[in-house]
A and B are shown apart, each in its own frame.
Chain A
Amino acid sequence: MGAGSASGTSGASGADWPLWEVFVRPRRGLAHTHAGSLHAPDAELALRNARDLFTRRGEGVSLWVVPAAAIAASSPDERDPFFAPAADKPYRHPTFYEVPDGVRHL
């Protein structure tokens, strides 16, 4: 199920089909979201299996399947340094700016 299963693809067993990560765009959703993962021999079967597995009850109208091996993920070890710049640059946030009372549509 997890995002980041790219790091946990089936190590020891070469016998399994490749792992695919599945993204679903809900009926009225704006973007595809990660739904889970599955094994399939190729993209076409991955799509069919993803349809049966993740959209059996009208969960979505669009599916993406991506080989898990193609995903690169940020490392939790460098979570702080990697994402730090935002915190010391408060002027990147709209709440940084003072607006006089009574000004509208701003």
Chain B
Amino acid sequence: MPVTDDPATTAALARFERAVAAETRIEPRDEMPDAYRATLVRQIAQHAHSEIIGMQPEANWITRAPSLRRKAILIAKVQDEAGHGLYLYGAAETLGVGRAELLDKLHTGRQKYSSIFNYPTLTWADVGAIGWLVDGAAITNQVPLCRCSYGPYARAMVRICKEESFHQRQGYELLHTLARGTAEQRAMAQDAVDRWWWPSLMMFGPPDGDSPRTERSVAWRIKRHTNDELRQRFVDICVPQAASLGLTLPDPALRFDEARGHWEFGAIDWDEFRAVLRGEGPCNEERLAQRRRAHEEGAWVREAAAAYAAKRGGRGGGEGEEVAA
């Protein structure tokens, strides 16, 4: 937090900190420290980007879904992810940034998206593993965000969590079906879990000792728990769920610690995590290239829609468009 001698700023900061401590939601027009605003813009925008990029690995299997039921479910799910992206861009915009500006930052690599979406979906079972593990990790992360100090973000998370929870169910059901199918189906389910387990644990971010922003985000009640706390909670939830699927988790170090009442798990490959964040994961280039292509090749359609709205005259609500008489 910047040190300042300006009494007005100091008083405003004190008011803000009292409001946060009293669990009052901060709303768009309330005073807030610049660093709070900047942290939220970054976090909400990158959350939104993750929803949008996250459509790609799953959409990869829409045309190849093995039954009409599974295909309809997958289409609905990808549609939900698009909606989550829109809710989140809307929340970010209440902080005074434009969506076009945020998308530009995504396209030029100045803002990130979740590391998980840089992994490929190699088989149909990956769709199940994403639902169960990736959406499961997202829910563990996001449920506490429903109590985040910034009102618009908290409200977006309430809507999103409702939908994510049945995405997780559909993934679990998919894996459950495969795990009780033929030997090949079962092997495919196990292989998917083996490949997605560790990347899912990385979704919670770097360990607490190596997460410079955590302390301030917790103090400002943006984050309610540390990365390691949430990661532990996720492991504790997943171990019994894996057992009821009849599948194993790819971690020989996994054992229940009676004293702590938690599952101990093995070391995460942080070198891999950092490489993926640097853009060196298996699909980083492909994901961004696809997003940029969709944006660039769609430019004429967006322009046509804007021109049509302008021609019909003035129902567009301002923001620099031409109003035809």
Binding site for B on A (CB under 8 A): 1-5, 7-20, 36-39, 41-45, 52-53, 56, 66-70, 73, 75-77
Give the chain B neighbours of A4 by CB distance below 8 A: 27-29, 94
Asked if B281 is at the interface (CB within 8 A of a chain A CB), the reply is no
Give the chain B neighbours of A44 by CB distance below 8 A: 315
**Bound Cα distance A66, B104 (Å):** 26
**Bound Cα distance A67, B317 (Å):** 5
Give the chain A neighbours of B308 by CB distance below 8 A: 41-42
Looking at the assembled complex, report how far the CB atom of B309 sits from the nearest CB atom of chain A, in whole angstroms: 4
On whether the beta carbons of B309 and A41 are closer than 8 Å, the reply is yes
**Bound Cα distance A4, B312 (Å):** 28
On whether the beta carbons of A11 and B317 are closer than 8 Å, the reply is no
Looking at the assembled complex, report how far the CB atom of B238 sits from the nearest CB atom of chain A, in whole angstroms: 28
**Bound Cα distance A52, B302 (Å):** 19
On whether the beta carbons of B83 and A53 are closer than 8 Å, the reply is yes
Q: Closest 9 CB pairs between A and B?
A: A67-B317, A10-B98, A2-B152, A42-B309, A13-B100, A2-B94, A16-B100, A41-B305, A13-B98
**Bound Cα distance A41, B306 (Å):** 5
Give the chain B neighbours of A38 by CB distance below 8 A: 86, 90
**Most B CB atoms within 10 A — which of A7, A8, A38?**
A8
Contact A42 B94, CB 8 Å, known A1-B156, A20-B317, A36-B87: no
Asked if B320 is at the interface (CB within 8 A of a chain A CB), the reply is yes
Give the chain B neighbours of A5 by CB distance below 8 A: 28, 90, 93-94, 152
**Bound Cα distance A9, B320 (Å):** 12
Asked if B319 is at the interface (CB within 8 A of a chain A CB), the reply is yes
- 15 contacting pairs across A/B (C-beta < 8 A): A1-B156, A2-B90, A2-B94, A8-B93, A8-B94, A9-B319, A10-B97, A16-B319, A36-B87, A38-B86, A41-B306, A52-B83, A53-B83, A67-B316, A70-B318
Query: Taking CB as reference atom, which chain B residue is nearest A34?
Result: B155
Query: Taking CB as reference atom, which chain A residue is nearest B82?
Result: A53
**Bound Cα distance A3, B29 (Å):** 10
On whether the beta carbons of B99 and A16 are closer than 8 Å, the reply is yes
On whether the beta carbons of A69 and B317 are closer than 8 Å, the reply is yes
Give the chain B neighbours of A73 by CB distance below 8 A: 29
Asked if B96 is at the interface (CB within 8 A of a chain A CB), the reply is yes
On whether the beta carbons of B27 and A2 are closer than 8 Å, the reply is yes
Give the chain B neighbours of A69 by CB distance below 8 A: 317-319
**Bound Cα distance A67, B95 (Å):** 18
Residue from B30, B98, B153, B318 within 8 A of A11 (CB atoms): B98
On whether the beta carbons of A17 and B318 are closer than 8 Å, the reply is no
On whether the beta carbons of A14 and B320 are closer than 8 Å, the reply is yes
Give the chain A neighbours of B153 by CB distance below 8 A: 1
Residue from A3, A37, A41 within 8 A of B316 (CB atoms): A41
Contact A37 B93, CB 8 Å, known A2-B27, A73-B29: yes
